[in-house]
Amino acid sequence: MGLVGVQENGNGNGDGISEIPLGTKTKYIKMTSDPVEEDEEVLQSRKYETKKYIFACAVFASLNSVLLGYDVGVMSGAIIFIQEDLKITEVQQEVLVGILSIISLLGSLAGGKTSDAIGRKWTIGLAAVIFQTGGAVMALAPSFKVLMIGRLMAGVGIGFGVMIAPVYIAEISPAIARGSLTSFPEIFINFGILLGYISNYAFSRLPAHINWRIMLGVGLIPSLVIAIALFVIPESPRWLVVQNRIEEARAVLLKINESEKEAEEKLQEIQAAAGSANAGKYEPKAVWKEILCPTPPVRRMLITGCGIQCFQQITGIDTTVYYSPTIFKNAGITGNSELLAATVAVGFTKTLFILIAIFLIDKLGRKPLLYASTIGMTVCLFSLSLSLAILSHAKVGIALAILAVCGNVASFSVGLGPICWVLSSEIFPLRLRAQASALGAVGSRVSSGAISMSFLSVSRAITVAGTFFVFGVVSCCAVAFVHYCVPETRGKTLEEIEVLFKDEDDLQESEVEMGDVECLMQKS
């Protein structure tokens, strides 16, 4: 026998649950069995369509990450030909490579405030516009100075993009799949790196004065796709709630939840977390005051979020990618084509293992993958140091160096790479999420820029082998950080994760405050 909802006021039309206004109480009467079978089919169809829609939103929001990945990958090869064409010095090479990460901190810092002001969706679009302008300037640059101007603009755009994509995806994703979906930006970074390597190899045989321009120019294509994507993806429902645009938030939640009941429950949960009735109190000054003078729970969140972002970079992943031709040349490989071909193998490895991470992150959890990642990176970094120090230019040394580099990027991609962005986007409360995530992204970009800009100079001082030995020691510290500072967040809603960072005193205080609020509401 079937069941169908009818409104208590007697105005039900008998067409089924979907016609009942949200938030009304219902009771049920018995009907024939046919409508139930139809309802089951409708529910299954809606479930499938919802999954497709959320997946498409995550993909489109992640496209800015292709720009960052492509730049990282393509610059590793393009710098060879830029040096040949523009006659730049070694110091200028370091600055050109590393300045993008340093300057992107401006975009990341501005991105938090911007996304709170204009919304997550339009911040994604702004990032693409800024990067596209900078990319065009780089591709057409007649001199090193103009090239640097374009590089600075591209860095600001990338700063916006890497900060906002994980936040947006975390806010539209269901808890059960949030880890996988929030990893999409890291997938696209890896895909962009691979495209950059392939572009290097494909255009390397063209004249030096034109090949690097084509390499950089190809990176503008994803920006055009993002412009189209803005007409498809919705605004974050959590941001809409903070803006007191409740009906718009409800409309988005109906699209990204499998049932109207689930959408309404999620809306009430978000309203409770955001304190939408007092949303006007979340002024930028108050947010930054809470971040700079944090309570114990917020301090723990900041240590976890910013710490994991810094460890992602100070373990040397960007230098491995940017300077992979230098590493392989040091190992004994000669010839530009052979060097670039070896880097393509690194790109394929990095992309393959990020795909593996996507399937495991919501099944095994964050911490097991982080343990496997940091321990694997430590082993590979020490192995690379050994091969470069003792077995350089020997066949076995070349093979070990390639294997160690591929193993390092594989270990990074299966854990520290994607989970860094997942954690930094899900551990902060809604009122702090954009600004705190921006702060974490700043830590990541500063660390990346400092490491990239100093790699050649440090390598000359202590050798390439010594540099990677230091990275191995830092990776050991990352293992300890994961053990002591990173909680498991798998399967929990964004609102539930806040509780993980509270100790017993904080929880008791929260319960007392909630009790006081309930008493006041009853009296009123």
Does 506 score more than 70 pLDDT? no
Q: What angle do CA 501, 250, 163 make, to 5 degrees?
A: 50
The pLDDT-based confidence of 510 (bands split at 50, 70, 90) is very low
What average pLDDT score do residues 345-365 get? 84
Which residues in the chain are classed under CATH 1.20.1250.20? 45-233, 294-510
Structure tokens at 183: 């990893």
Q: What is the CA radius of gyration of the chain?
A: 25
Percent of the chain with pLDDT over 70: 86
- C-alpha closest to that of 91 among 462, 466, 448, 452: 452
Question: What are the backbone angles phi and psi of residue 415, rounded to the nearest 5°?
Answer: -150, -75
Can you say how many angstroms the Cα of residue 281 is from the centroid of all Cα atoms in its chain? 28
- C-alpha closest to that of 308 among 114, 181, 495, 439: 439
What average pLDDT score do residues 310-322 get? 87
> 478 near 199, Cβ under 8 Å?
no
Does 420 score more than 90 pLDDT? no
**H or E element: which one contains 291?**
helix 284-292
Please enumerate in sequence order all residues whose Cβ is within 8 A of that of 509, keeping only pairs 6 or more positions apart, or say none. Answer: none
Secondary structure class of 285 (helix, strand, coil): helix
Structure tokens at 223: 């920006």
- Would you state the pLDDT for residue 283? 56
- Would you state the pLDDT for residue 22? 39
Does 511 score more than 50 pLDDT? no
Burial class (CB in 10 A: 0-12, 13-18, 19+), 443: buried
| Most confident among 155-159, 184-188, 298-302, 377-381 (mean pLDDT) | 377-381
Burial class (CB in 10 A: 0-12, 13-18, 19+), 517: exposed
The pLDDT-based confidence of 475 (bands split at 50, 70, 90) is very high
Give 26-80 pLDDT, tens digit per residue: 434 344 444 444 467 777 777 888 888 888 888 888 888 888 788 877 887 888 8
Does 231 score more than 60 pLDDT? yes
Q: Is the pTM of this model over 0.75?
A: no
- Would you state the pLDDT for residue 505? 53
Superfamily grouping for domain 45-233: MFS general substrate transporter like domains (1.20.1250.20)
Q: Token pair 């990020």 is at which residue?
A: 354
Does 442 score more than 80 pLDDT? no
Handedness of CA 505, 506, 507, 508 (dihedral sign): positive
Length of the chain: 524
Percent of the chain with pLDDT over 90: 15
- C-alpha closest to that of 237 among 31, 494, 56, 463: 494
The pLDDT-based confidence of 439 (bands split at 50, 70, 90) is confident
Question: What are the backbone angles phi and psi of residue 393, rounded to the nearest 5°?
Answer: 70, 0
> 111 near 438, Cβ under 8 Å?
yes
In angstroms, the CA 333 to CA 106 distance is: 38
- C-alpha closest to that of 128 among 50, 175, 62, 47: 62
In angstroms, the CA 440 to CA 157 distance is: 17
Q: Token pair 């000669």 is at which residue?
A: 334
Q: For residues 441 and 254, which has the higher predicted lDDT (pLDDT)?
A: 254
Does 467 score more than 90 pLDDT? yes
Q: For residues 38 and 481, which has the higher predicted lDDT (pLDDT)?
A: 481
Q: Token pair 């039900």 is at which residue?
A: 12
> 488 near 367, Cβ under 8 Å?
yes
Handedness of CA 105, 242, 239, 313 (dihedral sign): positive
**Under CATH, which architecture does the 294-510 domain have?**
Up-down Bundle (1.20)
Beta bridge partners of 256: none
In angstroms, the CA 160 to CA 169 distance is: 15
- Would you state the pLDDT for residue 190? 79
Burial class (CB in 10 A: 0-12, 13-18, 19+), 504: exposed
Handedness of CA 115, 118, 121, 126 (dihedral sign): negative
Give 84-134 pLDDT, tens digit per residue: 888 888 788 888 877 887 788 788 778 878 888 898 899 988 988 898 899
- Would you state the pLDDT for residue 284? 58
Q: Alpha helices of 140-279 — where are they, by DSSP H?
A: 144-172, 178-182, 184-203, 208-217, 221-229, 237-242, 246-256, 260-274
